[in-house]
Structure 1
Amino acid sequence: MEITIISAQGLKKLSFFTHNLQPFIQLTTTPPGAHRSHVYTTTVDHEGGVNPTWGDKFDLSNIIDPSEFFYNKCSCIYLYLYTNRVLLGPRLLGWCGIPVADFVDGMASVGTVRWLSYRLRKKDGSKGHGVVNVMVKLDSSVFRKKGGSDVRWLPEVNVGRVAIGIPVRTLPVVNYIIYYKTIK
């Protein structure tokens, strides 16, 4: 699996005294608050400010086991957006999780590419400032069984979709079962 960190938009400066953000992204499969292993880091964008661009590609095949990652609907790739500060070091601007359903949904063949955008979250998980844009491409190793060479399709992941609109009250469903017995 290959993921490309394309850009971010609408980031917020840390303070009035911050002249220019120097953002970079760390990519991992570890959720917030846990000890991170296998962390990939993009280059630092010194010129983009609140709308940085990277274009950095990462091959995740050595940290993701397809037989586990793609068959667990709770699996995610986490992106942590930081900015470099001269005196105090890096500071977290926001994070987002990319669920496995977003990779699998609609990917019918090897080499299919999806462009995805995610709103950043603050450290506590509340709504943050900005959006991260990524591109995901699945390769043939994702479609193979662990330890085998026979190809299989990814599972159908159905975690539901968010619908925006007016809530509708549903009526209770009553099922009646009628048994017929034939007499001989």
Structure 2
Amino acid sequence: MKNSDSRVLEVRVISAEDLSVNRRQPLKKNAFVVIKSEAQKIEAATTVDKDGGSYPSWDEKFSVDMPMHSRYLTAEVRCRGGAGGDRLIGSAKIPVTDFLGGLVPENYLHFLSYRLWDYNGERNGIINLSVRVVKGSPAAKVGFNAGGASCSSTQPWAGVPVADKVSSGGTVTGIPVW
């Protein structure tokens, strides 16, 4: 459920590439992806790809409610196991600055690929996905930028003189706060 302290993202998990188990043998089957938003217990998971091996594909879309203060999304590729449970194959933290803010138009669809890292911090494949801020979500309306570098305001930015500093300009720019 969407509230004013969050934004709605449309995340499509497309595929993964070059996945392996223990960095030695290619993944054979049963891969799936879990998408998590930072600081939330809510997760979205794809179905299990039983035949894709180390190059699985899902092409599944999720609507993710992401808090405004969040800095990243997490995508985890896992393998459905037997009695031992699910095994983490690799994960990627996706910074919100990769798909929010700046000069990107509202409702823009970003196609993104990220390196996956296993539990030992070793490279283990790539995940391909797309992300879109849903039109009408608070982030889309105000031009939110998680890094704070830009905003869609017509108010001028004010500078504050730097104490004991004489340099070219000697001014620190501030970030508008509403």
Q: TM-score, normalised by structure 1?
A: 0.67
Question: Unpaired segments of 5 or more residues in structure 1?
Answer: 70-74, 146-150, 160-173, 178-184
- Match for 1:48 among 52, 58, 61? 52
- Match for 2:31 among 20, 23, 36? 23
3-state SS of the aligned residue for 1:101?
Answer: helix
* Cα shift readout 1:150-172 (whole Å, capped 9, x = no counterpart): x422237378xxxxxxxxxxxxx
2:77 corresponds to which residue? 81
Q: Return the offset for 1:80.
A: 1.3
Q: What percent identity do the matched residue pairs reach? A: 24
2:136 corresponds to which residue? 141
Cα distance in 1 between the residues matched to 2:168 and 2:135: 49
Q: TM-score, normalised by structure 2?
A: 0.69
3-state SS of the aligned residue for 1:104?
Answer: coil
Quick check: which has more Rg, 1 or 2? 1
Cα distance in 1 between the residues matched to 2:29 and 2:14: 17
Counterparts in 2 of 1:81 and 1:142: CA distance versus 1, 3 Å? same
Q: CA RMSD in A?
A: 3.0
Counterparts in 2 of 1:21 and 1:59: CA distance versus 1, 3 Å? same
Cα distance in 2 between the residues matched to 1:89 and 1:83: 9
Question: Unpaired segments of 5 or more residues in structure 2?
Answer: 1-8, 150-165, 170-178
- Match for 1:128 among 114, 119, 123? 123
1:168 corresponds to which residue? none
1:10 corresponds to which residue? 18
Aligned-partner residue type, residue 81 of structure 1? V
Aligned residues: 145
1:100 aligns with 2:90: no
Counterparts in 2 of 1:3 and 1:86: CA distance versus 1, 3 Å? same
Cα distance in 2 between the residues matched to 1:53 and 1:121: 18
Cα distance in 2 between the residues matched to 1:129 and 1:15: 7
Name whichever structure is richer in strand by fraction.
2
Q: Return the offset for 1:109.
A: 2.0
Counterparts in 2 of 1:135 and 1:47: CA distance versus 1, 3 Å? same
